[in-house]
Amino acid sequence: MWNWQYLVSVALITVIVLSLGAVLWSMDSGSLTLEPGDEPEGAWWRGAIDAPVTIFVFPDFTCPVCVEKERLVLQALDMYPESLRMVYHHYPSPGFGQTVAEALEAAGEQGKFWELHDRLLVDPPDDMSKLKACAAEIGLDMQKFDEALDSGRFKEKVERDKEEAISRGIKHVSVFINGNEYEHNPGTLADLCAAIDEELERIAKR
Amino acid sequence: MILRLLVGGTFVFSSVTKLPEHSQFVDVVDSYHILPHSLATAYAVALPWVELVIGAYLVLGILIRPSSVVAVLMATSFVVANVSGIFRGDEYCGSCFGEDILLLAWQSLIIDVLIIVAGVYLVIEGGRKQMLSFDGLFAAEERTRTPVSGGE
């Protein structure tokens, strides 16, 4: 079977397959960039209003890597109080991730989006009872909170946020520093600070 | 033949979802923290290509046994990653078929185990059963060309 005709045929087929693969490979748009001030509609933000560096986050609270990244970003916000602003945008996985995102919106309706966000980072819940316990702990009106979740009032907003992110080319949970995708996953606080310092230096040189 | 098509087709589909998002796939593999960063990068870059070629070989029935061995090895690495993800608490497998098709971690684990079983079967039987395969075609041609010496 292993004659030259067989080998040439296999080589030809392999080249064709690899060529098709190369076409698919070339379709990768690589790292996405977002422009500061170009945050998606309805996004939640915190930090210095005129900060030179904006960190855009697109997390999913059921993803341990995302949760760790969020923790690092919050630590960085404390370290750079005048230089950093954080813009949050929903990017949940289906199922419980979606529920957590809607819970955050429900908390936001009561003026406690960031309180619940920070509480969820301490010990991310993996079921509804733990999620509700977190909500009760930060002093939410639980009747209103339960009604918001049961009615699905924020389902569309969360889905719309995610669809908008996807339409902008954000294909997975991400963190952007002034529009440039932060490549570490999750990396360390030192990695994040190095990236922030690099951006601050770049801005200072302009 | 059906097993070949199923296993091969799965790998082709998997590579087709990964190749257009290969830069993100590197991050995904890195996030499992199983391999050091440089090895994780090398694995993430090479895997979609190997999946594509091996998948195509199995679908077409080329080098069935060696391709099946590689398929089993790949599926074994997926099992390791999935089990590690499950222990870590990951609900979904984000590296299986890209971000557009999210499988629950246990679902992807079942698929990987089935691929290993099918792959082992193909390794054992693949040399013999070459129906509608490229290798079978060449083996048949070889038989028609080779003169059979008969008795008196």
The CATH number that applies at residue A66 is 3.40.30.10
Chain A positions in Cβ-Cβ contact with residue B8 (cut-off 8 Å): none
Neighbour-count burial of B125, counting CB atoms closer than 10 A to its CB (0-12 exposed, 13-18 middle, 19+ buried): middle
Average pLDDT over every residue of A9-30: 86
DSSP SS3 for B95: strand
pTM: 0.59
A7 domain residue, yes or no? no
A16 domain residue, yes or no? no
Q: What is the pLDDT of residue A11?
A: 92
Smallest CA–CA distance, residue A109 to chain B, in Å, is 28
Confidence of residue A17 (pLDDT cuts 50, 70, 90): very high
A18 domain residue, yes or no? no
CA distance A90 to A123: 19
Picking from A3, A4, A24 by the largest number of B CB atoms within 10 A of its own CB, the best residue to mutate is A24
- Does residue B7 contact residue B1 with C-beta atoms inside 8 Å? no
CA distance A164 to A123: 29
Strand partners, A180: A33, A177
A55 domain residue, yes or no? yes
CA distance A159 to B152: 82
Q: What is the pLDDT of residue B111?
A: 87
- Does residue A89 contact residue A58 with C-beta atoms inside 8 Å? yes
Q: How many domains does chain A have?
A: 1
Residue of A nearest to B95 (CA): A172
Beta carbon pairs, A and B, within 8 Å: 77
Cα distances (Å, whole numbers) of residue B124 to B1, B71, B128: 14, 13, 8
Residues 6+ apart with CB under 8 A from A83: A48, A51, A52, A53, A196, A200
Q: What is the pLDDT of residue B152?
A: 38
Residues 6+ apart with CB under 8 A from B142: A1, A3
Strand partners, A175: A57
A36 domain residue, yes or no? no
Strand partners, A76: none
CA distance B86 to B40: 19
A136 domain residue, yes or no? yes
DSSP SS3 for A89: coil
A76 domain residue, yes or no? yes
Name the stretches of chain B with pLDDT < 50. 91-95, 97-99, 149-152
CA distance B143 to B152: 21
CA distance B17 to B30: 18
Average pLDDT over every residue of A27-36: 58
Smallest CA–CA distance, residue A24 to chain B, in Å, is 5
DSSP SS3 for A49: coil
Average pLDDT over every residue of A177-187: 70
Q: What percent of chain A has pLDDT over 70?
A: 86
State chain A's mean pLDDT as an integer.
84
Residue A138 lies in domain: 44-205
Structure tokens at A200: 């601050």
CB contact under 8 A, A18 and B31: no
User: What is the tens place of the pLDDT at every residue in A145-154?
Assistant: 999 999 999 9
Whole-complex ipTM: 0.78
CB contact under 8 A, A186 and B31: yes
Chain A positions in Cβ-Cβ contact with residue B95 (cut-off 8 Å): none
* Beta-carbon count within 10 A of A92 CB: 25
Average pLDDT over every residue of A44-60: 86
CA distance B69 to B73: 6
Structure tokens at B47: 């895997």
Q: Which of A182, A185, A191, A176 is nearest to A86 (CA)?
A: A176
CB contact under 8 A, A1 and B142: yes
Is residue A173 pLDDT above 90, yes or no?
Answer: no
A15 domain residue, yes or no? no
Q: Which amino acid is at A140?
A: L
CB contact under 8 A, A62 and B91: yes
